[in-house]
Amino acid sequence: MSNIIKKVLAYRALSFVVGFAVTYMWWGTWQQSFLFTVVLLSTMTIVHYLFEKWWDRNKKFPEWE
């Protein structure tokens, strides 16, 4: 497994715990909080991975360093 995938998954695991806690405090139901957190973080995991791949491919721009 590549380092990018490990990094993304580790961050998303932490994000899941925090996201679930915040949405549970907001809505007060674990079912709604869990579903919302799963959908949001699944989407954001894919977006984060694609962004990391795009960023790595575009390191040719010196002003980004």
Q: Could you tell me if 34 and 20 are in contact, meaning their C-beta atoms sit under 8 angstroms apart?
A: yes
Q: What secondary structure, in 3-state letters, does the chain show? A: CCHHHHHHHHHHHHHHHHHHHHHHHHHCCHHHHHHHHHHHHHHHHHHHHHHHHHHHHCCCCHHHC
pLDDT tens for 29-59 read 999 999 999 999 889 888 988 988 888 887 7
Contact 11, 49 (CB under 8 A): no
For residue 61, name the pLDDT band (cuts at 50, 70, 90). Answer: low
- pTM listed for this prediction: 0.66
